[in-house]
Structure 1
Amino acid sequence: MRLGWDDIKRRAKAFSEEWKDAHYEKGETQTFYNEFFEIFGIRRKQVAIYEQRVKLLSNRHGFIDLFWPGTLLVEQKSSRLDLGKAQGQALDYVEGIHPTLQPRWVLTCDFQTWVLLDLDTGKELRFRLADLHKHITAFDFMLGRKVSFETQAGVTITAAELMGKLHDALEESGYVGHDLEQLLVRLLFCLFADDTGIFQPKDIFLQLVENDTRPDGSDVGRVLNDLFDVLDTPEDARQSTLQAELNAFPYVNGRLFAGRLRTPHFTQIMRDHLLDAARHDWSGVSPAIFGSLFQSVMDAKERRAKGAHYTTEANILKVIGPLFLDDLRAELAAIIQRKTGRDKALLEFQAKLTRLTFFDPACGCGNFLVIAYREIRRLELECLKALYGDQQIEAALLSRVTVDQFYGIEYEEFPAKIAEVAMWMMDHIANNEINEAFRLNYARIPLKDSAHILHGDALETDWSSLLRPEKCSYIMGNPPFVGAKYQSEVQRAQVRRVAGLGGSGGTLDYVAAWFIKAGQYLQLNRRIRIAFVATNSITQGEQVAQLWPILFDRHGLEIAFAHRTFSWGSEARGKAHVHVVIIGLAHRDHEPAEKRLFSYPDIKGDPVESRHAALTAYLFDARGVANRHLVVVESTRPLSTRPVISFGNMPNDDGNLILSPSERADLLDAYPQMAPYVRPLYGAKDFIDGNFRYCLWLPGADSTIIRSVPPVVERLRRNREYRAASTRKTTKQLADFPGLFGEIRHTEQPYVLVPRHSSERRDFVPFGFCPADSVAHDSCLFIPNANLFDFAILTSRAHMAWLAHIGGRLKSDFRYSIGLVYNTFPWPDTTLAQRAKIEALAQAVLDARAAHPTSSLADLYDPDTMPANLRKAHAALDAAVDRLYRSAPFASDRDRVEHLFGRYEALVNPLERIGAAKNRRVARMAEQNDCSA
């Protein structure tokens, strides 16, 4: 029987009246608590036991007055005894209980005085028996209703791990595939229902497994299948001979338990795993992150192949907050403050909530849908509280928001099923919030509404067949990332087809296809708002010029809000941490006047919000350009008049032409005639770390000398064989020239070496001068005959800002590109005097480096160990270079790159130079006003 709180309160008052004169512990305790449990419609002996023996830390034994495993421990005393001492005794008992059985609540009582302690929160409630009815909702947990509504990641992950153990044991026994996945999803629902009031009384599923199956596990599978049949059968259609333990379960419906599974044959270990999971407190599990259940049974290789990264609630809120939640909250707050027409507006607001629909076309285990549903239900609850106060009104008439407003597509069947169940779990939690607010005991059982989760490939599915665009309000989610080089042939073909770029389809990440497909879908309803998580590579590097013209020009989208790069954490076992952005999009017919931008001074910290009239594809302010849709396109030559930069020399030699310092010393000791042909070789890592390697450099070498040196002849033989064995045609052709590098670009001039990759931790990429007789490895770029001015601009904060915001990344490290970074960088114009000053400051940087001869560039440019004189030298150079661009100082690197972006526009679109200059003047005036304010 499902009792309402009014019934429970009346029973509590009657209980208090009956026991108002009770004082003696031994004679009355058991009857007292049997009747206390009856207040909630629970038969005490079904869930709790008296005089449970427990081993204390002192190696003695004690006896718990009443023990409900995993839920409640009672220490009962006669009147006038010290309840503080009794609570200490109870806590000693807790320490002696197995962790899987330890209770969350401890009650100490002398009949007339009650003290209820929540061990999770440390909160304590003290009251008199006569006031029990006033505090009866504190015993929500008796009905499985004491649910924590905030993220409890630790509880959730433990639950996932427990289920993972059961999964692994069943899979190892040969119970696999669809049946295994369905079994786990059904058990997931039962475990949650057992602790949260869907099943009443609490723990009847645990009791069924513990008391009605054999210890060896041999009949567990049969009992579970019988239970699933019962859960799928209405109460009035069940056999009259059904055993009472099964008949106590409610009819669930929702298709969850439809269809019989192949009977799993459990062992004792499997039964123990199931019992461990059942004893866990599932009331603290967050359905929003229960996707970690799925991840806990996947290995790392599978996660990469699917591009799966599981999500914290905080990060989901970063998506749905600016997408819809913040506006809805503000709207409701304004309505509540109204002086007239308030109730009508509240009813209209609730009706509006029921019309909204939410679509995640890469929903996984439903994390985004679950959190979105929770937040919409909470908004509805706030609306109802404002309408009805604390009146007691029938819950079924109160709540109108349902799970069938939520839609998803998921490639895998198992997570699709988990998503459906997780939505029901969150629906029950939301119902419990209504119960608490309006003193009800209501649950939507049997299930009638379901989230619409389609098992299929989102890139092959017509989204309109699931949800017609005119019915859709918001599209959101965290699509699979999968970089271009990790994509399967099928995935690459999908991206190529969706993007319509022709040829190879570019180098777009897999996630880009979801942005493009959402843009196509939105054309049939331009009011839809979109927000996706993505790798930050779609907002920097070569992908920007491939993706954003499609979104801006083909589909008419604008950036409505964005989170710049931050670290995206996971709640799953083996946590995945990637650097991501969040992009919110709207059609320009309905774009917001103000665009919200969230920036992260610390990528693992909290963001700082700013507001803008328009944002670029690089996620910075667009006021410095005439065309906010401008993207930086790779150029084959420098747009400014600068020296040509080149790739280094590629050995393609399997190490045969490269010498360590000791190998060089041995060779030259034995064959001094080889000295002209052994040169320093600078690779990026060697150059930065201060290591040295050498190479055989044999263009124009005297063949007589080479043949006279057996070790060199042997190296050339091995190199010829290595190249001849290659499957690449060009490498096989190089076998005829075993003494030469595979690609030669050396000029016999001094040069500035540019490492192609450098750690994101460094404030500056360590560029440096190298002598003419050294050879630049192909892990570097080099600028022949570069001078101090060239070095100064390259090492300046202005150039570093351009690299960081426009260049691509390798993981999170800077990736220096000729076509995208060097050739597109807008160099400043200078007078001779300005140039001379800059060169002097550049020399000061080199002198500061030279003052630390035992330190490598890695040491010198580590932000934690960078010498003060070097940092000061760079600061002086940076300030001087900044003044070449404008007189007002830059506030940040983003400020610098916004200015440089306007300069770039003037280089590539000379006709827009005037517009860009005007925008920059307006921007400067705004900055000055900001400063004066």
Structure 2
Amino acid sequence: MNIEDFITRWTAREGGAERANYQMFLSELCDVLGVPRPDPAGAERDLNDYVFERAVSSTALDRASAKRIDLYKKAAFVLEAKQTHAKGGTKAAPDQLPLLPAEPEHLGRRSTAKGWDVLMRKAFNQANDYVHLLPTDHAAPPFLIVADVGHCFEIYADFSGTGRGYAYYPDRKGFRIYLDELRDPKIRARLATIWTDPHSLDPTRESARVTREIAERLAAVSKGLEARNHPPEEVALFLMRSIFTMFAEDVELLPKGAFTNLLEECLDSPAAFAPLLKELWEKMNEPDHDRRFYSAFKTHLRYFNGGLFEKARAFPLGKEEIGELLAAARRDWRQVEPAIFGTLVEQALDPAERRRLGAHYTPRAYVERLVNVTVMEPLRADWRAARTKAEALADAGDEKGARDAVRAFHHQLCATRVLDPACGTANFLYVSLELMKTLEAEVLETLVQLGEPESIGLETVDPHQFLGIELNPRAAAIAELVLWLGYLQQHYRARSSHPAEPILRAFHNIENRDAVLIWDGYPLTTVVEQNGARVETYPNARRPEWPEAEFIVGNPPFIGGKDLRSRLAPGYAEALWKAHKAMNDSADFVMYWWDRSAEILARKKTILRRFGFVTTNSITQVFQRKVMERHLNGKPPISLIFAIGDHPWTKAGRESAAVRIAMTAAARGKLDGVVWEVASETGLDTDEPALTFTEKRGKVNSDLTVGVDVTRARSLMANDGICSPGFKLHGSGFIVTPAQAEHLGLGKRPRLEHHIRLYRNGRDLTARPRDVMVIDLFGLTADATRRDYPEVYQHLLEAVKPERDQNNRAVYRDNWWIFGEPRRDMRPALTGLGHYLATVETAKHRVFQLLDAAVAPDNKLIVIADDDAATLAILSSRIHTHWAISAGGWLGFGNDPVYVKSSVFDPFPFPDPSDTIRARLRALGEELDATRKTVLAEHADLTLTGLYNLLEKVRAGTELTPIEADQKSRGRVLILKELHDQIDTATADAYGWPRDLTGEQILERLVALNAERAREEAAGQVRWLRPDYQIPRFAKGAAAKSGELDLGEAPAAAGEDLPDFPKNAADRPPAVLAVLDQAEAPLDVAAIARSFKKGGKRIEQAVAKVLPGLVRYGHVTALPDGRYAGRKAI
């Protein structure tokens, strides 16, 4: 069928009966677009990936009354036809009200008249709900289509894969396609691509490529200007002015093509470039219209202002450099992606970063993920409530009241502020702006449908609402530019008119300052004399104030707590700790932003609604958890409403793997949340990384899990003094080879064998030992070392002392000849033992082994001062391993589990087995340790990690390669499997628990046992792990702690937080909808009425009057038994 026949057939007035047959209409549309027609539906629902009437599951509905999508194509779209919701249609509401839209006067044509089309809105809402009913292995499709048969299509898109943010596609001006517009081949091609390659239509894909190419051009110009010794700040301003001028040309704020033509002319006359450009920028900044005539363009210019063109300076450029600017100007600047543009421009301007240009930035999709949860979810919920109120008023014939309700939300949206207190080049602020402008487009379209004339005089979402704090002055300046570019991009996507002048405004919304520390005289420090040295100080150090905002979101700097002294300016860390008294000194730098935001969120009368931050994935480790726990358990409490514990961040490149991060978002009160876990990830080294997730809902714990809260387990006195990290050297010069040790006197100097010992770190245990030794002079003074071991002293003077002299901590500088952390408390626990247990702190596999007591352990080993192989067996069991993974942290690109003493070992409740079971555990532990050591001694090509990789594959039933099969045989992997299985059984027996517990059941029992042991210890009964060692040292302290037991807060009284039922009838639909949206199961009228404070029978009639409207617009589903299901219940 050709396009003309199709349009004529379906827009003919006599085709009314046919128009109800949407399947024929859509099948013939496929023919016109040149795409395959839908497949016949089969009995196996899972195979129906491109069909009409695709059934979707619902917990509220039985299979016989399952919901059906009008047309579904997996990974492409959900399509709903308006006609199926009309009276007599398959999806008509049971008690549909008579207010239906009149059929358009001219079918298939664009008209200036727009109307309030109830059925189109219901079809959209229904399609949106269907997305969340798709099978779990079907990602939310990128497109959602609403079809008015014979008249038009409305196209919505959400490329995030979550289905939570469908918005007009490509924009408000073009999302509605009328049948007569299908004559345009470009529109037909776009529709066809929705069928065949939908993700290629994601505008950010092309934008990322264009943006990177432009940044490369700018880097070449920047490099040339710096080579001529121009100040970097002036170079940055020059390029930012050039950037905006190119953009202004493409959106016709400057005459179309004029700036590009000017650059072309300057190729032949480079000397004219600087004076022409300087004059252009001066004219753009001139408030007087008569003085804004620019002769090179032969026209008066618009008034730009905003500070960008103040004191404009243009540098002379050579022909090649002008050529680079010309190449950049010829690109379509409307396609630039501001979400990554700022980062790339900053890299282009920074000589140190330029070589990594385009290889290390944050893909926009990652930023959008956090912004959607933190900022847009509550705003979209507000909009849904406002729209529901407007629908009720429109149904009642009060269109003015409906417009007022929509205008009130628009005013709220235009007053909403977003703060990024570490904004960098504003990628989070820009994405927030774009998504809020997208929402604003929906609001304005709704006003037009309600009869409001389009007006450019309305207030609008603009850059003044997006607040930033940024320490780097160049990044702060780029941030301002990024926000204005993004704002103007969105303006032209929604409107055809230019914004009011001045085009740019100096809102001063990006503050160039420190966000976490201020002091008297800031930003200058005070230099004082201390011990004969000049030292920078921070007098009266304190926390700075932040601008007020409804939302806080961002990506503060990543510096580990242990690195603060070395990475920050001298004295800064100490001043930071002094100013933030509630923070523990070991917390990562990013947690200072998290802590401040949480404090603001919990304040009385706070306007902050949510905050969300990107942090390192070490947030699940103990020092970060302590920060969160203080607020999660505070008065009033806050809750984690969203968390991802491990997520890629910056784009991966040849030089480095992608950084791994965590995301958290919080809101005030005791609320359930959702935890996402990455199920798969591909394309991390591209501009289109593809991630899929699984999710769990419930109370989110401080370790970013849902379910059993292992962080509530408390340290047990029974484990005191047994576990410690190994030695922290603070100087590689302590490590020597055996030959070096002999040269330093080993075997010649008396008792030196006590001070030069074998040394093992994590790699030595998981791979192969390096055969190195370490100089351990703990207990010796510098004088004694020089006298008794002069060769050693001389070596350390040269290899260690210079490095220690530069250390900020006096204790490290003054005691330079001994380890930085010599573990004074661990040494007595190891005294008298022939062996001790050790595990690698951060490792893929949680493996424990016995080490000879003569071996010195590195800081990255966790030492358990116990030589009992029964303890080795218990720690190697599935029960303890599951506990260690859940209670520990995660670290690194491989996201390997971290064994943390304070959260894993200290609260772990060891079993108290009978002598028979203990003997069995001891024998199994000895055999396990001996088997592994024998295998590794006999086969130099095998490693401990390799053995456990094979064991993991054997358990999973993975087919082994011939090489792996040989290693399995030589490595006795099946014997290892049998030993671990027997250890698991014996450990379960030691606890007296079933042998087939799930991981969640194990955690439940361990947390309960921990609480039981804590009660025992409070009563004076301690089940010491090594009583002979522990009782003389810790029993007195244990007795003093007896009786101290915190039983926690009493639960809040039921019903005290119920909402009031609105007195105003127009406010009742959004209130009832909010109740149904939160309900896990369908509710009848009586149950809905009881969900309000002092509700019940007195408001049942009022509730019943609200429900038909909610059903008619597709917000809720009416069930045959009289109940109503909201989004969570369907």
Superposition TM-score, scaled by structure 1 size: 0.67
Distance 1:524 1:333, change over 3 A: closer
**Aligned residue among 816, 819, 827 for 2:910:** 827
Deviations 1:815-872 (A, max 9, x none): 5454554333232343445545545654664476355741221321346769452456
The one of 260, 272, 277 equivalent to 1:206 is 260
Superposition pairs of residues 508-587 of structure 1, within 5 angstroms: 508-522=587-601, 523=603, 525-528=605-608, 529-545=610-626, 548-549=629-630, 552-553=633-634, 556-570=637-651, 577-587=658-668
Change in 2 beyond 3 A, CA 1:554/1:690: same
Q: Is the CA contact (8 Å cut-off) linking 1:793 and 1:881 kept in structure 2?
A: yes
Q: Secondary structure at the match of 2:700?
A: coil
Q: 2:439 aligns with which of 366, 371, 379?
A: 379
Tell me the distance in 1 between the aligned counterparts of 2:187 and 2:884. 58
Q: Which of 714, 719, 726 is 2:792 aligned to?
A: 719
**TM-superposed deviation, 1:791:** 0.9
- Secondary structure (helix, strand or coil) at the match of 2:303 reads coil
What is the aligned counterpart of 1:160 among 215, 240, 263? 215
1:574-631: per-residue Cα shift (whole Å, max 9, x none)? Answer: 778332222222233xx5x32222233458743322221x333222236557xx8x48
Q: 1:734, 1:262 → 2: CA distance?
A: 54
The reply to whether residue 506 of structure 1 matches residue 579 of structure 2 is no
Partner of 2:558: 481
Matched letter for residue 790 of structure 1: T
Q: Paired residue for 2:678? A: 600
Task: Give, as a single letter, the amino acid of the residue that structure 2 aligns with 1:606.
Answer: T
The verdict on how the C-alpha distance between 1:749 and 1:463 changes in structure 2, with shifts beyond 3 A counting, is closer
Q: Is the 8 A contact 2:344 2:361 kept in 1?
A: no
Match of 1:243 in 2: 295
Of residues 367, 370, 374, the one that matches 2:430 is 370
Encode CA deviations 1:715-754: one digit per residue, 9 max, x unaligned: 95421323456468899989899xx999976646432441
Partner of 1:609: 695
Asked if the contact 2:218–2:345 (Cα under 8 Å) also holds between the matched residues in 1, the reply is no
How far apart in 1 are the matches of 2:908 and 2:351? 39
The match for 1:456 among 513, 518, 530 is: 513
Q: Distance in 2 between matches of 1:698 and 1:539?
A: 33
CA distance in 2, matches of 1:680, 1:465: 53
Partner of 1:495: 576
Aligned 1:104-123 pairs, distance under 5 A: none
Q: Aligned partners of 1:347 and 1:575: how far apart in 2?
A: 49
SS of the residue aligned with 2:503?
coil
* Superposition deviation, residue 226 in structure 1: 0.9
| One-letter code aligned to 1:281 | D
Mapped partners of 1:838, 1:659: distance in 2: 38
1:11-50 to structure 2, matched below 5 A, reads none
Aligned residue identity for 2:568: Q
770-779 vs 242-251, greater mean Cα deviation: 770-779
Q: Is 2:304 the counterpart of 1:217?
A: no
Alpha-carbon displacement from aligned partner over 1:881-927 (angstroms, at most 9, x marks no partner)? 467385485655x77556645544555565899979999xxxxxx9x
Cα pair distance change 1:413/1:200, threshold 3 Å? same
Corresponding residue for 2:280? 227
Q: Who is 2:342 aligned against?
A: 291
**Correspondence for 1:275:** 326
Checking the alignment, whether the CA contact within 8 Å between 1:292 and 1:571 is kept in structure 2 is no
Change (3 A) 1:782 1:163: same
Aligned pairs for 1:619-698 within 5 A: 619-621=704-706, 624=709, 630=712, 639-640=717-718, 644-645=722-723, 658-660=736-738, 681-691=759-769, 693=771
Deviation per CA, 1:16-56: give whole Å up to 9, x if none. Answer: xxxxxxxxxxxxxxxxxxxxxxxxxxxxxxxxxxxxxxxxx
Q: Please tell me whether the aligned partners of residues 508 and 547 of structure 1 are also in contact (alpha carbons under 8 angstroms).
A: no
The secondary structure found in structure 2 opposite 1:271 is: helix
Aligned pair in 2 of structure 1 residues 774, 476: CA closer, same or farther (>3 Å)? Answer: closer
Mapped partners of 2:277, 2:617: distance in 1 = 47
- Using the alignment, how far apart are the partners of 1:642 and 1:287 within structure 2? 54
Once residues 669 and 510 of structure 1 are traced to their aligned partners in structure 2, the CA distance between those partners, rounded to angstroms, is 47
Contact 1:661 1:692 in 2 (8 A): no
The equivalent of 1:115 in structure 2 is none
Once the two structures are TM-superposed, the CA of residue 419 in structure 1 deviates from its matched residue by: 1.9
- How far apart in 2 are the matches of 1:902 and 1:916? 15
- Amino acid across the alignment from 2:906: N
Q: What is the identity, as a one-letter code, of the residue corresponding to 1:620?
A: T
Q: Structure 1 residues 227, 808: CA separation in 2 closer, same or farther (over 3 Å shift)? A: same
Say if 2:643 and 2:662, in contact at 8 Å, map to a contact too.
Answer: yes
Equivalent position amino acid for 1:516 in 2: D
Identity of aligned residues (%): 22
Counterparts of 1:533-932 in structure 2 under 5 Å?
Answer: 533-545=614-626, 548-549=629-630, 552-553=633-634, 556-570=637-651, 577-588=658-669, 591=670, 593-601=671-679, 605-612=691-698, 614-621=699-706, 624=709, 630=712, 639-640=717-718, 644-645=722-723, 658-660=736-738, 681-691=759-769, 693=771, 716-723=789-796, 726=801, 747=831, 749-759=833-843, 762=844, 764-771=845-852, 776=857, 780-807=861-888, 811=892, 814-832=897-915, 834-835=917-918, 838-839=921-922, 842=925, 845-846=928-929, 849=932, 850=934, 853-854=938-939, 855-862=942-949, 867=968, 869=974, 870-871=976-977, 873-874=979-980, 877-878=983-984, 881=987, 884=991, 887=994, 891-892=998-999, 900-901=1006-1007, 903-908=1009-1014
| Equivalence for 2:393 | 341
How far apart, CA to CA, are the structure 1 residues paired with 2:302 and 2:654? Answer: 34
Question: Any gaps of 5 or more consecutive residues in structure 1?
Answer: 1-120, 122-130, 140-146, 700-712, 920-925, 927-933
Counterparts in 2 of 1:384 and 1:903: CA distance versus 1, 3 Å: farther
Which string of whole-angstrom CA distances, capped at 9 and with x for unpartnered residues, describes residues 163-187 of structure 1? 2222222122122143222222211
CA contact (8 A) 2:282 2:312 kept: no
Displacement after TM superposition at 1:512 (Å): 1.7
Amino acid at match of 1:488: A
Pairwise CA RMSD: 5.0
Counterpart in 1 of 2:503?
A: 447
Taking the TM superposition and a 5 Å limit, the aligned residue runs for 1:99-178 are: 135=184, 149-151=203-205, 152-178=207-233
Amino acid in structure 2 at the alignment position of 1:286? E
Task: Say if 1:561 and 1:597, in contact at 8 Å, map to a contact too.
Answer: yes
Tell me the residue number matched to 2:362.
311
Q: CA deviation at 1:324?
A: 3.2
Q: What TM-score comes out, normalization by structure 2 length?
A: 0.56
Gapped runs of 5+ residues in structure 2?
1-168, 170-179, 189-200, 395-401, 519-541, 685-690, 778-785, 954-963, 1019-1042, 1052-1079, 1081-1130
- Paired with 2:240 and 2:654, the residues of 1 have a C-alpha distance of 19
For the residue of structure 1 that corresponds to 2:261, the secondary structure is helix
- Residue deviations 1:678-701 (CA, integer Å, cap 9, x gap): 9865443223223362659999xx
Q: Deviations over 1:87-122 (max 9, x none)?
A: xxxxxxxxxxxxxxxxxxxxxxxxxxxxxxxxxx9x
Paired residue for 2:237, among 171, 182, 191?
Answer: 182
Q: Is the 8 A contact 2:278 2:312 kept in 1?
A: yes
SS in 2 for 1:640: helix
Selected match of 1:425 from 478, 482, 485: 485
2:478 and 2:486 mapped to 1: Cα distance? 12
Q: Does 1:321 pair with 2:372?
A: yes
- Please list the CA deviations of residues 393-438 of structure 1 after superposition, one character each: whole Å capped at 9, or x if unmatched: 5451567333322222222222222222222222222223323xxx
Partner of 1:265: 316
SS of alignment partner, residue 526 of structure 1: coil
User: Residue 300 and residue 330 in structure 1: after superposition, are their counterparts in 2 closer, same or farther (change >3 A)?
Assistant: farther
